[in-house]
Structure 1
Amino acid sequence: MLINQPTELYERRFFAVRGVQAGREYYLVNCPFYLLPEIFNDLDNTGIPPSQRAQRVINKTRVKAIEKYLLSNLNGYVFSAATVSIDGDINFESTDGTSNVGLLIVKDRAQYIINDGQHRISAIIDSLKEHRGHEYELLPIIFFNDPGLEMSQQIFTDLNRYTLKPAQSLNILYDTRDDFAKIARTVASDVSFFHDVIEFEKTTISNRSIKLFTLNGIYNATKILLGKRNDSTKKNSSYACDFWEKLGNELNEWQEHFRGKLASSILRQNYLSGHNIFLNSAATIASAAGEAGIGTEEIISIVANEDWRRDNPLWEGRALQNGKITKSNMSLMLTTNILKLRSNISLNERESNAEQLYQQKQRLLK
């Protein structure tokens, strides 16, 4: 004799807080990490057509980066809440005499679709394969009851409609984990030529701004400058500050700007030395000079004595294209090639090939 078996034998229970948005209930729960692989057991959506998905395709590189961040900061990581749609039989039971605090009961055959947070969840799941010590940590998740998953795509769209990634300069300003960020902040505050002229919140500077460089520009150039140095953060900060200070002491246009005789806007308008390509070129040649055994003072003198005016024909096709500054790696290489040749530093194969191609183009233009 056949015995009728219950179709929903198992269920999951989450302590939850119930809320309402636009007339729709949602439930905020804290989900233990160890449950995530069970709930989200198939995150590979690469084979699903975009019209049938409710999320982007998983970016494995991004997942790996988040996993590394988590495992490197187990005592200090921060994850925001994920948002998930549930298609299935759910029930909310109030407890402790309050209507909005209680248990969210989800039948085991329910389907979970991540609307926001798939890379965080995927990274946590992967991290558990490497290390189990954090399996009882909690991830906040906002669950929406979405029968038939009719709203999941719209939820994804709405959540991402007005998102804006913080400017890199602001990230550097607030980042206490990255040693290079700490060094960049020190350079921005301690080098006299950078006082009050660093843009800390944006990655671009308007034409009329009194600011001269962005913090991310200082960060990138100083990272190049330090290159393969293995010194402590304190020593690297001291070296970087000393380099930029000495360069300013030798560079006429920085001196004029520091004395208030040359406005930031005019410096940027008339000189390459008011732009990131100059910082990066100076940092690149200084790093190369250090490896070649050339002293800092000598290389600073070479950089400072170069003619960095934008109307100098030397820079067309290198730092400039039709008079406009370019930000490509090739432009940086061709600009730095000039400094290497001035310093009698041999070009590597890639730099030499780029230089030959540049010279060929110049001959054709004549």
Structure 2
Amino acid sequence: MGFEYVFPSIRGVQAGREFFVSMCPLRLIPKIFLFDDDEIPPEVRAQRVLNKGRLPALTRYIVDNPDDYVFSALTASIDGNIVFEGIADQGTGMRAGQIRVPMAARFLINDGQHRRAAIELALKENPDLGDETIAVVFFHDAGLARSQQMFADLNRHAVRPSRSIGVLYDQRDDLANLTRLLALRSPVFKQHVEMESSTLSARSRKLFTLSALHSGNQALLQGLEMERDKAAALAQSYWEHVDTLIPEWAMVRERSLTAPEVRRDYIHSHGIALHALGKIGNALLRDSTTPAEWQKRLKKLSSVDWGRSNPDWEGRAIIGGRVSKSHNQVLLTVNYLRQTIGLRLSPEEQRAEDAYQRGDA
């Protein structure tokens, strides 16, 4: 008998086919699990090409969080003989035991190739991770067609969580924590932020989404080095001053206007506006030496007509009657607010503005 891999496993059945759930030490992952070569034509590969741009973030996630990283199971096909040995001949013991796989067998990842590559890179930085384990779901390889179908089925119904719920549940990121606390405690946002969805229905009683507020804070605090508590205080102070310049926000809190009415008739609660206001705040904070200075300059925003009927928004924040949050539209909206306040445009902003004025945007 040749050399074998032995994995503790639980046996199950799906669609009449056996599969095995096992634990595999991380140090073995790069050695035994393969993914198709990038140069192989798509029609004869069993998965998509590895996106190497995703690997640095995944690797840093593992290396920087050795005590609380979480990776979901890999799914792999084994092109070789699989022998399952249960710990008992009957009852539940028939489902638990171990699988024996010849070392000559080929292991092909059906789902999780980016996790596999990130684990390989993380082990180079921290070899101590090698004794930790990851769950692996093994299927017997039934050929290329079956492997391709498995990849399609595994990814067909995968739904990426909304950006808002990502911010809501992220306990590790300081900006997410700041945004969450601001949404829950600030009188401007309290009870008026949708915490889970990144879109608002026409009848929603919320005025903002958590993801939009997060983008606004990210733009506001970008490049400003300060302690977490000071950043939180600054963000709250900034948005409270913005609130004094947009009377409709207060009218929603006072219930003289409804949130659906404001979202329908104005753009200032939409994600593009919060993002643009964050960028304006960042510019003012960099150019001001005291809070009184940026607060005074910010007051010029009171002259902005945020109504959707304002023709100035067409081609900037609004395209074809709909609010758009593309990079170029954010840029043009920031330009409009910069010009209102009297701030100079950056070279990139000036190029976008020139194209807009020529009708090329």
* TM tier, smaller: over 0.9
Where does structure 2 lack aligned partners over 5 or more consecutive residues?
A: none
Q: C-alpha displacement at 1:64, in angstroms?
A: 2.4
Write out aligned runs for 1:1-366 (5 A). Answer: 9-40=2-33, 42-95=34-87, 98-148=93-143, 151-293=146-288, 295-361=293-359
Structure label with greater radius of gyration: 1
Measure, in 2, the Cα distance between the counterparts of 1:188 and 1:337: 27
| SS in structure 2 of the partner of residue 19 of structure 1 | strand
- Greater Cα shift, 142-151 or 275-284: 142-151
Measure, in 1, the Cα distance between the counterparts of 2:189 and 2:224: 23
Q: C-alpha displacement at 1:269, in angstroms?
A: 1.5
Distance 1:360 1:162, change over 3 A: closer
Paired letter, 1:198: V
Q: C-alpha displacement at 1:147, in angstroms?
A: 4.4
Q: C-alpha displacement at 1:358, in angstroms?
A: 2.2
Residue 3 of structure 1: aligned partner: none
Q: C-alpha displacement at 1:113, in angstroms?
A: 1.2
| 1:15-57 deviation digits (Å, cap 9, x = unpaired) | 11222223221111110011112202x4352112222222111
| 1:256-308 deviation digits (Å, cap 9, x = unpaired) | 22211111111111112121222112111111111122733123312233221
Paired letter, 2:281: A
Measure, in 1, the Cα distance between the counterparts of 2:200 and 2:142: 49
Measure, in 2, the Cα distance between the counterparts of 1:49 and 1:358: 42
Measure, in 2, the Cα distance between the counterparts of 1:308 and 1:197: 19
| SS in structure 1 of the partner of residue 31 of structure 2 | helix
TM-score (norm 1): 0.91
Measure, in 2, the Cα distance between the counterparts of 1:218 and 1:253: 17
Measure, in 2, the Cα distance between the counterparts of 1:21 and 1:133: 36
Query: Is the contact between residue 301 and residue 341 of structure 2 (CA under 8 Å) also seen in structure 1?
Result: no
Query: Is the contact between residue 94 and residue 102 of structure 1 (CA under 8 Å) also seen in structure 2?
Result: yes
| SS in structure 2 of the partner of residue 257 of structure 1 | helix
Q: C-alpha displacement at 1:149, in angstroms?
A: 5.3
TM-score (norm 2): 0.92
Q: C-alpha displacement at 1:148, in angstroms?
A: 4.0
| SS in structure 2 of the partner of residue 45 of structure 1 | coil
What do you get for the CA RMSD once the two structures are aligned? 1.9
| 1:115-172 deviation digits (Å, cap 9, x = unpaired) | 1111111110121122212110101101112344552222222222221111111111
| SS in structure 2 of the partner of residue 151 of structure 1 | helix
Measure, in 1, the Cα distance between the counterparts of 2:96 and 2:340: 72
Distance 1:52 1:287, change over 3 A: same
| SS in structure 2 of the partner of residue 37 of structure 1 | helix
Distance 1:121 1:359, change over 3 A: same
- Greater Cα shift, 70-79 or 45-54: 45-54
Query: Is the contact between residue 184 and residue 190 of structure 2 (CA under 8 Å) also seen in structure 1?
Result: yes
| SS in structure 1 of the partner of residue 129 of structure 2 | coil
Paired letter, 1:63: L
| SS in structure 1 of the partner of residue 7 of structure 2 | strand
Where does structure 1 lack aligned partners over 5 or more consecutive residues?
A: 1-7
Measure, in 1, the Cα distance between the counterparts of 2:251 and 2:11: 63
Measure, in 2, the Cα distance between the counterparts of 1:38 and 1:287: 48
Distance 1:317 1:112, change over 3 A: same
Query: Is the contact between residue 35 and residue 109 of structure 2 (CA under 8 Å) also seen in structure 1?
Result: no
Measure, in 2, the Cα distance between the counterparts of 1:23 and 1:302: 69
Distance 1:330 1:151, change over 3 A: closer
Paired letter, 1:179: D
Q: Percent identity?
A: 38
Q: C-alpha displacement at 1:217, in angstroms?
A: 0.2
Query: Is the contact between residue 224 and residue 287 of structure 1 (CA under 8 Å) also seen in structure 2?
Result: yes
| SS in structure 2 of the partner of residue 222 of structure 1 | helix
| 1:209-246 deviation digits (Å, cap 9, x = unpaired) | 11111110000011101121111222211211121122
| SS in structure 1 of the partner of residue 128 of structure 2 | coil
Measure, in 1, the Cα distance between the counterparts of 2:166 and 2:321: 32
| SS in structure 2 of the partner of residue 48 of structure 1 | coil
Distance 1:299 1:283, change over 3 A: farther
Residue 4 of structure 1: aligned partner: none
Measure, in 2, the Cα distance between the counterparts of 1:267 and 1:123: 45
